[in-house]
Structure 1
Amino acid sequence: MAEAEAIPAATVIVMRDRAGKPPELLMVERAQAMSFAAGALVFPGGRVDPGDRLLAALFAGDPDDIAARVAAVRETLEEAGVAVGLDVPLAAIPKLGRRLYAGEPMGALLEKAGGALRIDALTPFARWLPTGMRHKIFDTRFYLARAPDNAEPVVDGNENVRVFWAGAQAVLDAADAGEAMIIFPTRRNLERLATFASFEQAVADALGHPVETITPWVERRDGIDHLCIPDHLGYPVTAEPLGQAVRA
């Protein structure tokens, strides 16, 4: 059976600072019925749609990167009701999210609402592309975004069953206690995010490391197969025993 073709996708790590405490991240729990990462805690995101590419054509720059940013903005609003990368009236956000989820084009909706995209509000953080899978493979670009003031996430009730704010270490602790499931890329990103004391620190780290496509590989170390990633991209943990790694 041939390996699946990679699907372009994007996700947003939405962060909000807390005085004297580590930042919190916006997390969603995927529904058990989903074909990819069912039941896992993930950052909001999804595949890049043709409509995202149409909107991306209005901006200068790498069209694939811009389309992924547009998709990240759209998916975060659809999945969690949180508007990052958007200038839009606060009262319009719930209606926008519902109509986007129903399939209406974002460009037309923003025009009606008097809003605009702010793709520069997203900072590239990472890019992950696994290989060797026979299920869906996503070529996923990760972005950082500051949480809007008074952002109140909302469960979409279809793709996810829970949406909440939590510190990176708290999510890792929940997974280690068997109270949550996180897949390999999410765990590695949470470990990296747990080292930051603020959103500004996370952005500085992202700008200080090149965004290279991360394709994990299997390597035998001390007689045990490990799933590995490069060690120069800012991740504090770069290998995990293959038998312990959770893959979607």
Structure 2
Amino acid sequence: MSGSLRPSSSTWRRAASVMLVAGWTRPSAAALSPPPAEGFRLLLLQRASSQGFMPNAHVFPGGMLDAADRSSDWLRLFAPHQGPPRFGLGPDSLGRASFPVVPDVRPDEDPAAMPDDVALRICAIREAFEEAGVLLLRPRGPRSNQGSEALKPGRTLEPPPGLADWRASVRSDPRRFLHLCAHLDCTPDIWALHDWNVWITPNSPQLSRRFDTMFYLCCLSEPPLIYPDLSEVVHSQWSSPSEATRSFISKDIWLAPPQFYELKRLENFASLSDLHTFCLDRASEGVERWMPVLLFTADGRIELLPGDELYLEDSDFLEKTLSTEKKIEEVMKEGRKFHRILIYNRYLYHIHVTIPPKFKHVYPKNYVASKSHL
């Protein structure tokens, strides 16, 4: 039975997030500790405790898609050098997975509105500016898809004078982001954002809001300065995937399962160059769309992901969960085909993957924390 997200429902909200990864030459803050294996760092933002969704969590920059991100007014800013509707992006790759089905909803009915993957990129770039003061923009003008420059990690634009005023203006009215780009004679650097994955919030009694979130990855040659807005975001840090994992285990930060999974996936890469080349090589492959199915056990829960032997593509699980009186370890002994996150408590996750990845992507290596953390 296939599952469809209801077009008329406000349960799922479209959103976009960007994983900002930067090359790193600065010494580790803990000078006496050995440097992490990865030669890059990832930006994590701590959400304010006052936020209704995932308060205090460390997340990637991102937020909800706004009508302003779809506006046909962006056409005049991309013109005359990049033509609609895709402005030089590769083929549309948002529709890879069959479950759950996400309807194509265009509330404004504007035939000239931005395609979904363009609008979602603009959304992620706008949110990075609102939350972190980072401008993923490029000067207007001809853009070549050829040559060495197209194969290098990007750079951010220096924040404009009056950053706080511009950010307050954009936060109060997302349409002002287009005005900022026009003022700077720039376009959102949609070409620097690489498709990575789609996560759909599962049905859970702990979550009052549910999002259909496109995750992008953006490689930067060096880390930009971060200016948390001190409203939605109260703190920022650049961490390697392994550093972030250690901080999570030691309870210095809290990560939701999707962010933890993506950090563990990034541990497959030894350098920024390797990661950037990987993104370029699979640019036409597209992404998967994952809605975890929750299996509550006697001592925790398991988040089942597509491909797992217990994962069911059934519309019932858009609004329901599974449960068992067995413990996590008992469930694990009964299976072999795994794609799942084991959640023992708020700060102890295990990842088990025994299936091959799709679309030339990579999955995390199996990860099991020390039993002393139980």
TM-score by length of 1: 0.84
Please, which runs of 5 or more residues in structure 1 have no aligned partner? none
Q: Using a 3 Å threshold, how does the CA distance of structure 1 residues 172 and 21 change in structure 2: closer, same or farther?
A: closer
| Residues 33-112 of structure 1 mapped to structure 2, 5 A cutoff | 33-54=50-71, 58=75, 59-61=84-86, 63-87=115-139, 90-92=158-160, 95=163, 96-103=166-173, 105-112=176-183
Equivalent position SS for 1:226: strand
Distance 1:80 1:43 in 2: 10
**Residue 181 (structure 1) aligned with residue 254 (structure 2):** yes
Corresponding residue number in structure 2 for 1:213: 289
Alignment check: 8 A CA contact 1:77 1:97 kept: yes
Structure with a larger share of its residues in strand: 1
* Cα offsets for 1:185-244 (capped at 9, x unmatched): 1110111112212334334445546411011123589x9852122369xxxx94232443
Q: Using a 3 Å threshold, how does the CA distance of structure 1 residues 36 and 109 change in structure 2: closer, same or farther?
A: same
Match of 1:229 among 290, 293, 305: 305
For these two proteins, the number of residue pairs brought into alignment is 240
Give the greater-gyration-radius structure (CA): 2
Equivalent position SS for 1:77: helix
Task: Kindly state the Cα deviation for residue 113 of structure 1 after the two structures are TM-superposed.
Answer: 1.9
Distance 2:58 2:217 in 1: 17
| Residues 114-193 of structure 1 mapped to structure 2, 5 A cutoff | 114-133=185-204, 135-147=208-220, 149=222, 151-193=224-266
Alpha carbon RMSD of aligned pairs, Å?
Answer: 3.0
TM-score by length of 2: 0.57
Equivalent position SS for 1:143: strand
Amino acid of the structure 1 residue aligned with 2:85: A
Distance 2:224 2:264 in 1: 24
Alignment check: 8 A CA contact 2:137 2:186 kept: no
Percent identity, aligned pairs only?
A: 24
Q: Using a 3 Å threshold, how does the CA distance of structure 1 residues 137 and 124 change in structure 2: closer, same or farther?
A: same
Please, which runs of 5 or more residues in structure 2 have no aligned partner? 1-8, 26-36, 76-83, 87-91, 93-114, 140-155, 309-337, 348-374
Task: Kindly state the Cα deviation for residue 27 of structure 1 after the two structures are TM-superposed.
Answer: 0.9
Corresponding residue number in structure 1 for 2:43: 26
Alignment check: 8 A CA contact 1:127 1:212 kept: yes
Amino acid of the structure 2 residue aligned with 1:115: C
Task: Kindly state the Cα deviation for residue 50 of structure 1 after the two structures are TM-superposed.
Answer: 0.7
Task: Kindly state the Cα deviation for residue 65 of structure 1 after the two structures are TM-superposed.
Answer: 1.2
Distance 1:198 1:94 in 2: 35
